[in-house]
């Protein structure tokens, strides 16, 4: 099936709603969504760091501030 959305005619809100609907649909069948090897490697390394007590975490507010500073 070749689905085409009129992206140029859609508002940002409509595009976000479409993305959310697609994500909900994909999430119902997550075992069918391919995971790239590099992604699995990153997650495995992060889990290793957590298990070894080497991971550090920041609050959501701190992360938002970091992102805000990087985009200025």
5-21: pLDDT as tens digits: 899 999 999 999 999 99
Q: How far apart are CA 51 and CA 58, in angstroms?
A: 17
Q: What is the pLDDT of residue 11?
A: 96
User: Per-residue pLDDT tens for 24-39?
Assistant: 999 999 899 899 999 9
Residue 1 has pLDDT above 70, yes or no: no
Confidence of residue 3 (pLDDT cuts 50, 70, 90): confident
Residues 47-72 have pLDDT tens digits of 999 999 999 999 999 999 999 999 98
Across 38-72, b (16+ Cβ under 10 Å) vs e yields eeeeeeeeeeeeeeeeeeeeeeeeeeeeeeeeeee
Instruction: Indicate the DSSP class of residue 31.
Output: G
């Amino acid at each position: 099936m070749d689905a085409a959305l009129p992206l140029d005619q859609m508002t940002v809100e409509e595009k976000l709603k479409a993305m959310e609907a697609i994500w909900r649909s994909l999430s119902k069948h997550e075992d069918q969504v391919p995971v790239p090897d590099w992604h699995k490697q990153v997650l495995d390394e992060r889990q290793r760091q957590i298990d070894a007590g080497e991971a550090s975490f920041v609050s959501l507010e701190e992360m938002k501030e970091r992102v805000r500073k990087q985009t200025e």
